[in-house]
Structure 1
Amino acid sequence: MSSIVLAQEAAKTVSDSGLAAIGYGLAAIGPGIGVGLVFAAVINGTARQPEAQGKLTNLGFSTFIFTEVLALLGFVLYFIAS
């Protein structure tokens, strides 16, 4: 058997929903790191300039929302793929 036929047979045995779950798991790493960086910057900025805590907190939560939208989009695409 040629390697192309073997690859096609192997592709038939792997489920698409399993690959979608792995893809979503890998895609969730980015927003997770992003949220950590956002709140690390808010904490660092508040420690350096305590009077700017209100503005930094509002900006941090706004950025958190935009970052989490990426994770939710990946979650929706996971269900579409499976």
Structure 2
Amino acid sequence: MEVGAGAAIGAAIAVGLGALGAGIGDGLATFAAVSGIARQPEAQGKLMTTMFIGIGLVEAIPIIGVVIAFMLFGKVGA
């Protein structure tokens, strides 16, 4: 297998799995926050703040995947 083809496949896997994991993580975090707010509406502020921090951390993974993909696409052009 050529280096370019391997780099392209690696970039696709990095972005795809990063997006899949982030989507699942975001869904689970939102589900848990909405369930908590439904059970205890007075804790909405704390739950939303914690949820947004958690989602921000989860979204770092696909951003890193995109950076890795750009690095690998740089290898394809070389």
Q: TM-score, normalised by structure 1?
A: 0.78
Number of equivalent positions:
72
2:8 aligned to which of 9, 13, 18: 18
Give distance in 1, aligned partners of 2:61 and 2:49. 19
Give distance in 1, aligned partners of 2:62 and 2:2. 29
Q: Unaligned stretches of 5+ in structure 1?
A: 1-10
The answer as to 2:38 corresponding to 1:47 is yes
Superposition deviation, residue 24 in structure 1: 1.6
Point out 4+ residue stretches in structure 1 off by more than 2 angstroms. Answer: none
Q: 2:76 is matched with which residue?
A: none
Whose Rg is larger? 1
Q: Unaligned stretches of 5+ in structure 2?
A: 74-78
Which structure has more RCO (C-alpha within 8 Å, separation ≥ 6)?
2
- What is the CA deviation profile of residues 6-59 of structure 1, one whole-angstrom value per residue up to 9, with x for unaligned ones? xxxxx1397245301233212321111001100100100000000000000000
C-alpha RMSD of the superposition? 1.7
User: Equivalent pairs: percent with the same residue?
Assistant: 40
Q: TM-score, normalised by structure 2?
A: 0.82
Give distance in 1, aligned partners of 2:60 and 2:27. 15
